[in-house]
């Protein structure tokens, strides 16, 4: 399946935006680990901005950058959100509340706990009424989201925004589901190569196991392995490199995606 990348967004430890991170991902500058800095979205009304948890802010930051660089109207574009765990902080607080004597759950906590909360905030921020899909697939969440987005682009002949994100759980859930760091990434994909297209992607579903493409930098590889959304890093590195490249991304049941990035 062939699609075209119009915009990219990224927010992660030491990776503050696509423009600032591109040379790092291409191996032209050294990677310096740091905190993941996520600002509240200025597109949200003040009340919603206060309520938005970290996971939502991650998703919105990556998505806004991708659509801004694509020059495409987010309000008229379908989306796919992919996250293995969504808002870990909210799940933790709900579990704490349910384990206490006073089991009243905050309405804000409750509506932030659903897996499509980020999609809901996105629709408020962008006034988007186009279809949106939210999915989770454990460590294969990025691959599942990419496959879903590409299928929608090819079958519907329309652009689609893919937004993937994950953040750590607090303890004790962290011990059961360790996520090392907060990370978000986004791609705006289109069925044809418009004037904003920066790369072409050829995506193939392969029903056999393979070693996933690692990051060459040890620090970036630790980020990739420590967050399901960061499985996007090898593809982002291929987009950042001159001439592109081909990467393998783990999927489920011994399958993988083979993705080749090249010029339009």
Share above pLDDT 70 across residues of the chain, in percent, rounded to a whole number: 100
The yes-or-no verdict on residue 33 having pLDDT over 90 is: yes
What does the pLDDT read at residue 49? Answer: 87
Mean pLDDT, the chain, integer: 94
- What is the pLDDT confidence band of residue 102, given thresholds at 50, 70 and 90? confident
What does the pLDDT read at residue 127? Answer: 95
Q: Residues 202-219: pLDDT tens digits?
A: 999 999 999 999 999 999
- Domain membership flag for residue 261: no
- Domain membership flag for residue 150: yes
Average pLDDT over residues 25-31: 96
Task: Give bridge partners of residue 50 from the DSSP assignment.
Answer: none
Share above pLDDT 90 across residues of the chain, in percent, rounded to a whole number: 81
Residue ranges making up the domain that contains 166? 2-196
Give residues with Cβ within 8 angstroms of 48, minimum separation 6. Answer: 121, 124, 125
- What is the pLDDT confidence band of residue 255, given thresholds at 50, 70 and 90? very high
Q: Residues 105-123: pLDDT tens digits?
A: 888 888 888 999 999 999 9
The yes-or-no verdict on residue 48 having pLDDT over 90 is: no
What does the pLDDT read at residue 198? Answer: 95
- Domain membership flag for residue 66: yes
Give residues with Cβ within 8 angstroms of 4, minimum separation 6. Answer: 189, 190, 191, 192, 193, 194, 197, 199, 200, 201, 264
What is the distance between the alpha carbons of residues 59 and 18, in angstroms, rounded to a whole number?
A: 14
Number of separate domains in the chain: 1
What is the distance between the alpha carbons of residues 43 and 59, in angstroms, rounded to a whole number?
A: 13
Q: Residues 138-175: pLDDT tens digits?
A: 999 999 999 999 999 999 999 999 999 999 999 999 99
Task: Give bridge partners of residue 203 from the DSSP assignment.
Answer: 259
> 78 burial class (0-12, 13-18, 19+ CB within 10 angstroms)?
middle
- Domain membership flag for residue 71: yes
What does the pLDDT read at residue 31? Answer: 97
Q: Residues 178-191: pLDDT tens digits?
A: 999 999 999 999 99
What does the pLDDT read at residue 168? Answer: 93
CATH (domain of 103) = 3.40.47.10
Average pLDDT over residues 18-46: 92
What does the pLDDT read at residue 156? Answer: 97
What does the pLDDT read at residue 19? Answer: 94
- Domain membership flag for residue 220: no
Of the two residues 71 and 86, the one the predictor is more confident about is 71
- Domain membership flag for residue 153: yes
- Domain membership flag for residue 258: no
Report the predicted TM-score, pTM, of the whole model to 2 decimal places: 0.95
Angle at which helix 18-25 crosses helix 233-240, to 10 degrees, equals: 90
- Domain membership flag for residue 233: no
């Amino acid at each position: 399946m062939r699609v075209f990348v119009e915009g990219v967004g990224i927010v992660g430890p030491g990776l503050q935006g696509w423009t600032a991170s591109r040379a790092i991902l291409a191996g032209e500058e050294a990677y310096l680990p740091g905190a993941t800095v996520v600002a509240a979205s200025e597109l949200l009304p003040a009340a919603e901005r206060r309520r938005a948890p970290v996971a939502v802010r991650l998703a919105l930051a990556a998505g806004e950058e991708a659509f801004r660089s694509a020059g495409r109207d987010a309000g008229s574009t379908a989306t796919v959100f992919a996250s293995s765990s969504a808002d870990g902080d909210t799940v933790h607080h709900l579990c704490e509340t349910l384990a206490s004597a006073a089991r009243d759950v905050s309405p804000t906590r409750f509506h932030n706990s659903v897996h499509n909360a980020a999609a809901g905030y996105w629709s408020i921020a962008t006034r988007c009424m186009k279809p949106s899909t939210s999915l989770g697939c454990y460590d294969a969440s990025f691959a599942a989201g990419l496959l879903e987005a590409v299928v929608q682009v090819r079958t519907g002949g329309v652009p689609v925004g893919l937004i993937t994100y994950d953040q750590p759980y607090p303890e004790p859930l962290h011990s059961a589901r360790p996520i090392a760091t907060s990370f978000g990434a986004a791609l705006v994909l289109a069925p044809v190569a418009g004037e904003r297209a920066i790369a072409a992607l050829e995506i193939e579903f392969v029903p056999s196991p393979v070693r996933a493409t690692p990051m060459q930098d040890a620090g970036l590889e630790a980020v990739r392995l420590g967050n399901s959304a960061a499985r996007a890093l090898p593809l982002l590195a291929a987009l950042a490199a001159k001439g592109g490249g081909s990467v393998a991304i783990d999927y489920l049941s011994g399958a993988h995606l083979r993705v080749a990035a090249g010029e339009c």
